[in-house]
Structure 1
Amino acid sequence: MKFFKNIALALTATAALTGAVMAAGAAKHPIQQKWSFDGAFGKYDRASAQRGWQVYKQVCSACHSLKYFRFRNLAELGYSEDMIKAFAAEYEVAGEPDDAGDETVRNALPQDAFPAPFANENAARASNGGALPPDLSLLAKARHDGSNYLFSILTGYEDAPAGFELSAGKNYNPYFKGGQISMAPPLAEGIVEYEDGTAATPEQMARDVTMFLTYVAEPKLEDRHRMGMNVLIFLGILSIILYLSMKKIWKPVKEGKNFYDDAE
């Protein structure tokens, strides 16, 4: 009985500690998902990433920038050069000043970065109730357990628990530090119509845009995986060669012979 009593006390203490941590502003641990890019042989799901690009364009790009992402990077996701040029041409970027020194704009080109939705940070804050929407280029790498974090944030909106004081203009999301997030739930059923016919449920869109943003943050992931496997194969072969060489060199010694006598 004493053993079970101690377990009950430990569980109670753990629950109290967890509540204290949450009250202090810690976020709930991200929902763990299985991703195609996980593991030594992981690869990006191109179809999912293309759908994620569509979600970003139609939903996320209204507030969030991708300042380190260039249109030409879409080639690695399976888009042709003509398609990339067409995507870029939908947007305008700053051009060269004209003869009078006035600013000009031009259609974007594949080598251009994706244009930001706001001219500057002040404009971004003014349009979002004082909150600054983060750039999404590196978010999947900048946050701990980044891919699962993004998925959890996008799907984790819920009603605030009893006794939780939610500030005006904020939304409750336990996966965000402090539980209060300025961004309203961005995904809703049918907000995007996928070109490949996939049902655009909020969870599906969250997975797809997470796949895309993970690629944006780490476009060389597959190259690193291939290089890692090549290094392991090389080291394996080298180990075998060294082992056989060692056996040949030390064989005369083990047999009680002088290596130089055999050489004569």
Structure 2
Amino acid sequence: MIRLFGILAGLFFALASLWAFVFGAGTVISQGHLVEPTAEHEFHLLPRDANLPTDGAFGKWDVAQLQRGMQVYKEVCAACHGLKYVAFRDLEALGYNEAEVKAIAAGFQVPGVDPNTGEAALRPGLPTDKFPSPYPNAIAAAAANNNAIPPDLSLITKARHDGPNYVYSLLTGYGQIPGELKREFPAFSTPGGLHFNRYFPTLNLAMAPPLTADGQVTYAEGQPKPTVDQMARDVAAFLTWTAEPKLVERKQTGWPVLGFLLFATVLAFLAKKQIWARLKRPGHHGA
């Protein structure tokens, strides 16, 4: 009876899968020719590999790169984007000492209260404060950015698919509309106030190119040359850290856990062999 039930269940799932395949293929065949290709579909590019040190199962932080990325964020990105989930004191994990953290925090104006009047006012940041948004509210942000609200960057590499590579590619993906695109889609254009970027899904992006020239940020002596590509790579690494500061620790913890599970599996198998070794097979009659 159990065997019959299993056969019927398997047959049911096989027929359901076949029906779904046939139905889906029929839909594609019947409607596919009605769907006109779009410029966004044809010319949108998938993110390029940023080759960050944290890539792969054995990835680790490059602290110097994270500090360079923080510098790029502070001098370029912070003009439009906040980090509302990152406190200044968290930067100690990047190798900054207490005095340096205080200095970085004091360079930002954060919302506070005037002790004399009790009214809202701005004050220099403290290590316990979080990176502020440069705008008081969403309306002000939209008004200053062609009606587009710059997103908070705290979790941007987690919020976007292939986040670190997406950030890196987007920052280096600005350019002119290719002639091939113009020939194939004459009606496509980049409206005023937008910027062409092949790594953005709609190809037209409200954010102006933030990294416009090599040397835009001055790195300390002994650091790599601050080319646009290097600065984009560094800030992508920094935003990977802001989104998941325990990323490397999680990877490092995972290997001992996997080793323990493998050892436990082998131990359980050997125990099972030992326990069942003396049991007779069905139908076997010993003396």
Partners of 1:137 and 1:204 lie apart in 2 by 21
Please state how far the C-alpha of 1:250 moved relative to its aligned partner: 3.0
CA deviation vs aligned residue, 1:14-61 (integer Å, no higher than 9, x gap) = xx9999143469832111232211222211221111100000000111
What amino acid sits opposite 2:215 in the alignment? Answer: G
Report percent identity of matched pairs. 47
1:193 paired with 2:218, answer yes
Q: Is the 8 A contact 2:50 2:233 kept in 1?
A: no
1:211 paired with 2:233, answer no
What amino acid sits opposite 2:262 in the alignment? Answer: G
Please state how far the C-alpha of 1:107 moved relative to its aligned partner: 2.5
**Counterpart position of 2:260:** 234
**Counterpart position of 1:184:** 208
Select the residue among 203, 214, 222 that pairs with 2:248: 222
Q: Is the 8 A contact 1:157 1:185 kept in 2?
A: yes
Provide the TM-score with structure 1 as the length reference.
0.82
Could you say what secondary structure the match of 1:68 adopts?
Answer: strand
1:148 paired with 2:165, answer yes
Alignment of 1:1-264 (within 5 A): 20-23=37-40, 27-98=44-115, 100-161=117-178, 162=182, 163=186, 164-187=188-211, 188-196=213-221, 197-253=223-279
Please state how far the C-alpha of 1:114 moved relative to its aligned partner: 0.5
Name stretches of at least 5 consecutive residues in structure 2 with no aligned partner: 1-32, 282-287
What amino acid sits opposite 1:174 in the alignment? Answer: R
Partners of 2:53 and 2:158 lie apart in 1 by 16
Partners of 1:83 and 1:102 lie apart in 2 by 30
Q: Is the 8 A contact 2:111 2:120 kept in 1?
A: yes
Please state how far the C-alpha of 1:96 moved relative to its aligned partner: 3.9
Partners of 1:121 and 1:41 lie apart in 2 by 40
Provide the TM-score with structure 2 as the length reference.
0.76
What amino acid sits opposite 2:141 in the alignment? Answer: A
Q: Is the 8 A contact 1:64 1:136 kept in 2?
A: yes
Could you say what secondary structure the match of 2:123 adopts?
Answer: strand
Name stretches of at least 5 consecutive residues in structure 1 with no aligned partner: 1-15, 256-264
Task: State the aligned residue count.
Answer: 240
